């Protein structure tokens, strides 16, 4: 157990917009010191698990995702036992997909969520207008449904440090920030291509109005004395919203793409911040 605890945790699910490709660049730009880490759009938690802050507030509007975080922290052994019961067959996959999460208990719900993430097509989370998960079976030969060592490491970190886990609108979490906090904003990206299939992953859309409102909140956090860092797509609309702050165009590979040839490195993203160190 001691060896497993010492392993550094990593994201336990693959997540659209995950920061694996940008992680090194973002970590290099994180402030040297801060009072508390706040991430209102936590997703897979790549930066959280890279920085491992001792005090943090993490949030996401996705109830299934946040339930999984809580189950890993509070019900680890029951969750691992449940994950071991799943099998990688198409018939079983569609049976699990058809289940209604609100009719399951916390452990069953988290187990279903992680299982579907590991076995669905491209690890993509997507909902229809009714909020139902609708990604097809991935047909992988040997997906790692139970990453027991990492789940133990994630659980240990979330339980041993002062980590508050919330499922709410991002604005409510931003209002909790105070001077000296480091706030990392990683919203659903503004689409560079209006015909893109991957601009809406849940029934909760993030519109131009939402991006404009987020830019206002960024400035409010700045006025509060928070250190704020934001990542988004390299679109003129987004860059105009953050005029006056440090804006860097960065190279990254988009991870969610059905064709490997579409995963080309180019300056598709920007990092915005209101501080130098």
Query: Residue 254: what pLDDT?
Result: 56
Residue 246 in domain: yes
CATH code at 129? 1.10.1020.10
DSSP count for the chain of H helices, then E strands: 11, 7
For residues 113 and 170, state if they share a domain. no
Overall number of domains in the chain: 2
Query: Residue 197: what pLDDT?
Result: 43
For residues 38 and 134, state if they share a domain. no
Residue position matching structure tokens 């131009």: 208
For residues 261 and 210, state if they share a domain. yes
Tokens encoding 221: 């956090």
What Å distances lie between residue 34 and 31, 140, 179, 226, 274, CA to CA? Answer: 7, 42, 9, 9, 14
| Alpha carbon distance 210, 202 (integer Å) | 15
Count of other CB atoms within 10 angstroms of residue 120: 24
For residues 57 and 76, state if they share a domain. no
Tokens encoding 6: 């010492």
Q: 240-259 burial string, b = 16+ CB within 10 Å, else e?
A: ebbeebebeebebebbbeee
Instruction: Judge whether 226 and 174 are in contact, CB under 8 Å.
Output: no
| Alpha carbon distance 174, 39 (integer Å) | 9
| Alpha carbon distance 140, 197 (integer Å) | 22
Instruction: Judge whether 273 and 29 are in contact, CB under 8 Å.
Output: yes
Query: Residue 194: what pLDDT?
Result: 63
Query: Residue 201: what pLDDT?
Result: 54
State pTM to two decimals: 0.91
Query: Residue 130: what pLDDT?
Result: 85
Point out the domain boundary residue: 123, 148, 173.
Answer: 148
**Mean pLDDT of successive 10-residue segments in the chain (277 residues)?**
67 84 93 98 97 98 97 98 98 98 97 98 88 94 96 98 98 98 97 62 79 98 98 97 97 59 70 94
Closest CA to 76 of 163, 160, 156, 165: 156
- Residue 245 backbone class (left: φ over 0; alpha: ψ -120 to 50; beta: rest): beta
Instruction: Judge whether 130 and 102 are in contact, CB under 8 Å.
Output: no
For residues 169 and 254, state if they share a domain. yes
Residue 203 in domain: yes
Instruction: Judge whether 176 and 221 are in contact, CB under 8 Å.
Output: no
For residues 124 and 252, state if they share a domain. no
What is the domain extent for residue 110?
71-148
Residues in the chain: 277
């Amino acid at each position: 157990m001691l060896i497993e605890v010492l392993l550094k945790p990593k994201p336990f699910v693959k997540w659209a917009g995950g920061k694996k490709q940008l992680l090194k660049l973002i970590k290099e730009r994180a402030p040297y010191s801060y009072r508390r880490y706040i991430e209102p759009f936590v997703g897979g938690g790549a930066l959280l698990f890279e920085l491992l802050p001792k005090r943090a507030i993490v949030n996401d509007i996705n109830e299934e995702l946040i339930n999984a975080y809580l189950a890993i922290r509070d019900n680890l052994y029951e969750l691992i036992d449940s994950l071991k019961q799943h099998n990688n067959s198409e018939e079983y996959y569609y049976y699990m997909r058809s289940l209604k999460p609100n009719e399951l208990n916390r452990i069953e719900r988290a187990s279903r969520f992680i299982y579907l993430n590991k076995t669905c097509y491209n690890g993509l989370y997507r909902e229809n207008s009714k909020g139902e998960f609708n990604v097809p079976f991935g047909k992988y030969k040997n997906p790692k449904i139970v990453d027991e060592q990492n789940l133990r490491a994630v659980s240990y970190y979330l339980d041993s440090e002062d980590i508050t886990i919330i499922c709410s609108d991002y604005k409510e979490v931003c209002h909790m920030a105070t001077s000296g906090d480091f706030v990392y904003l990683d919203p659903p990206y503004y689409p560079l291509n209006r015909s893109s299939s991957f601009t809406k992953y849940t029934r909760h859309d993030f519109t131009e109005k939402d991006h404009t409102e987020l830019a206002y909140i960024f400035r409010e956090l700045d006025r509060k004395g928070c250190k704020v860092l934001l990542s988004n797509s390299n679109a003129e609309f987004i860059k105009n919203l953050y005029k006056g702050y440090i804006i860097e165009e960065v190279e990254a590979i988009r991870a969610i793409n059905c064709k490997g040839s579409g995963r080309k490195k180019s300056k598709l993203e920007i990092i915005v911040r209101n501080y130098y160190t």
